[in-house]
Amino acid sequence: MILLAGLLIAGCATHRSANLSWEGERVRVQFSPPDAGSPVLKCLSCNRDFAPLPLQVNDQGLAYIKIDEIRTAFTSHFRIIGSGIDTALTLQPLPPKEVTERYKLKDSLIGRAMALRYAVVYKDTTMTEQVGSLERQDEMNLFGEDELFYYIHHPLYTMPVVILRSQAVRIQ
């Protein structure tokens, strides 16, 4: 009888999910089913520590938040906690066409790549000036590629920066 009651209670549990995407300058969080309650968002990849940010979820299951720091990140990682959800999510960079238009880039982007491991981002192919880094599975938009380098876009720069091809793989 106890086993049957346990199965009945487990069967009544609602599966909850969340999806992150960009909408203009804000991060859009979509909860399903929409009655998400009062979850909080913790930025796992921000350079400074933020306290978990409460999300105001509307009756359609949507919440919006703007964190200025993530506009300059290659990829942002978050954790959503509360109302039956405890999961980590990745907010991918904008697609190449949208990046080209938004940042008024003079050269078009040609695709995307993903870091296979920690990768140093250099200002140019001389590799004398480091301008950032990528973590494993971070994705970035591509300007081009040659035998040694991927020429990638970073939101802080209108010109390409580079990473070694051996540290990433082209995915689009």
User: What is the tens place of the pLDDT at every residue in 65-87?
Assistant: 888 777 667 677 888 888 678 88
Q: Are residues 83 and 126 in the same domain?
A: no
Confidence of residue 13 (pLDDT cuts 50, 70, 90): low
Identify which of 163, 168, 164, 109 has the alpha carbon closest to the alpha carbon of residue 138.
Answer: 168
Q: Could you tell me the residue range of the domain that residue 27 belongs to? A: 14-91
Three-state DSSP string of 88-146: EEEECCCCHHHHHHHCCCCCCCCEEEEECCCEEEECCCCCCCEEEEECCCCEEEEEEEC
Segment 90-107 shows an average pLDDT of 77
Q: Are residues 102 and 72 in the same domain?
A: no
Tokens standing for residue 77: 């990682």
pLDDT 10s digits, 15-34 = 778 888 888 778 888 888 88
Whether residue 2 is contained in a domain is answered as: no
Total number of domains constituting the chain: 2
Q: Specify whether the CB–CB gap between 107 and 160 falls below 8 A.
A: yes
Of 62, 91, 120, the domain-final residue: 91
Q: Are residues 41 and 75 in the same domain?
A: yes
Q: Are residues 140 and 104 in the same domain?
A: yes
Question: What is this structure's pTM?
Answer: 0.64
Q: What are residue 155's phi and psi, to 5 degrees?
A: -55, -20
Of 54, 71, 91, the domain-final residue: 91
Q: Are residues 82 and 18 in the same domain?
A: yes
